[in-house]
Structure 1
Amino acid sequence: MFLPSTRKKARELLVQAFYQWEISGSEISCIEVEFATDNNMDKVDTEFFKELLYGIPSKLIDVDAAYEGHLDRKFKDLDPVSRALLRIGSYELCFRIDVPYRVAINEAVNLAKKFGPTDTYKYINGILDKVAIDKRDLEIKSQARAK
């Protein structure tokens, strides 16, 4: 069982880890060791952290394909933080059905406010809303009917 605060901390570290991965080109295993050494992992959902840390690169084609069709610019024109956020949010929407779609989007938006360039959160929200419609249409429709 996880606490929402430990999963939130895992997502914060994941944004930083994927930023580092993209900028430095370091191996994921090296980044994992560095983050475990440099951070107090007692307050982190480490299982979730490791799943996404290794899962996103291993499913990168599928993860990137989930959001690339919704971009209004070329993939290479996204800043590294936005790419990290879209990858984390898209992975959760595609492969972590246990995470409600609204939680996946809200967490990415909050991380964009914390780590991203000004107003990036609006862009991230818009793109992940579209990914959610593609990947979680049944969940969205069932929640709309429940209202």
Structure 2
Amino acid sequence: MTDSHADSTPKARKASDKSARTRAREFALQALYQYIVGRNDATDIDLFTRDLAGFHKADSVHYDAVLHGCIAQADSLDALITPMLDRPLVEVSPIERGVLWMGAYEFQHCLDVPWRVVLNECIELAKSFGGTDGHKYVNGVLHKLAAQLRPLEVAAAAPRGKPAPAPEGSNL
């Protein structure tokens, strides 16, 4: 097999086809993991992450917004996420917690990104970096959160004849 064929494998194409925003989310998750686990300074984490191989291909504006937004709003993001959990927050892995922060943050502040895109990107992050079934947990929590934070968008995406899930805690 020649080198030209090696680049045409599905795995090679998939890595090269990643969008700049997908890359930004991957780097932001790695940085959030350092913050959650090590409680390292956000500026130090940011500088370290920007030096990682491939960062130049990431959307640095989106990375900045997600990383610094999640860190600045960590307490309010935890407060949003906690009612959706089936276990105490301390029992959620740092990767899944970071992904949940990112999803909640993007639902609230990145209104140009459709809720399904946020959900799918977070599921993929959990699959790539999290535990075996962590993506299923992320999916369930963020689906409920989407219904709460973007009710009109979620309702518009519901199949005809089937109502969208009611936001957690609603009387619907």
Q: Could you say whether these structures have the same fold, taking a TM-score greater than 0.5 normalized by the shorter chain as the test?
A: yes
Following superposition, the deviation at residue 26 of structure 1 comes to 1.0
C-alpha deviations, 1:8-28, integer Å up to 9, x for none? 001111111111111221111
**1:11-26 equivalence runs, <5 A:** 11-26=25-40
Once residues 143 and 73 of structure 1 are traced to their aligned partners in structure 2, the CA distance between those partners, rounded to angstroms, is 29
Q: Which residue of 2 aligns with 1:119?
A: 133
**1:30-49 equivalence runs, <5 A:** 30-49=44-63
Verify the 8 A CA contact 2:147 2:154 in the aligned structure 1. yes
TM-score, with structure 1 as normaliser: 0.92
4+ runs deviating over 6 angstroms: none
TM-score, with structure 2 as normaliser: 0.79
Matched, 1:28 2:42: yes
The gaps in structure 2 that reach 5 residues or longer are 1-16, 162-172
Matched, 1:101 2:97: no
| Counterpart among 77, 83, 100 of residue 69 in structure 1 | 83
The amino acid across from 2:20 in the alignment is: T
In structure 2, the CA distance between the partners of 1:35 and 1:109, relative to structure 1 (3 Å rule), is same
Q: Which residue of 2 aligns with 1:92?
A: 106
The gaps in structure 1 that reach 5 residues or longer are none
Verify the 8 A CA contact 1:63 1:94 in the aligned structure 2. no
Once residues 112 and 37 of structure 1 are traced to their aligned partners in structure 2, the CA distance between those partners, rounded to angstroms, is 23
CA RMSD after TM alignment:
1.8
> Identity over aligned residues, as a percent?
34
Once residues 109 and 37 of structure 1 are traced to their aligned partners in structure 2, the CA distance between those partners, rounded to angstroms, is 26
Following superposition, the deviation at residue 40 of structure 1 comes to 3.0
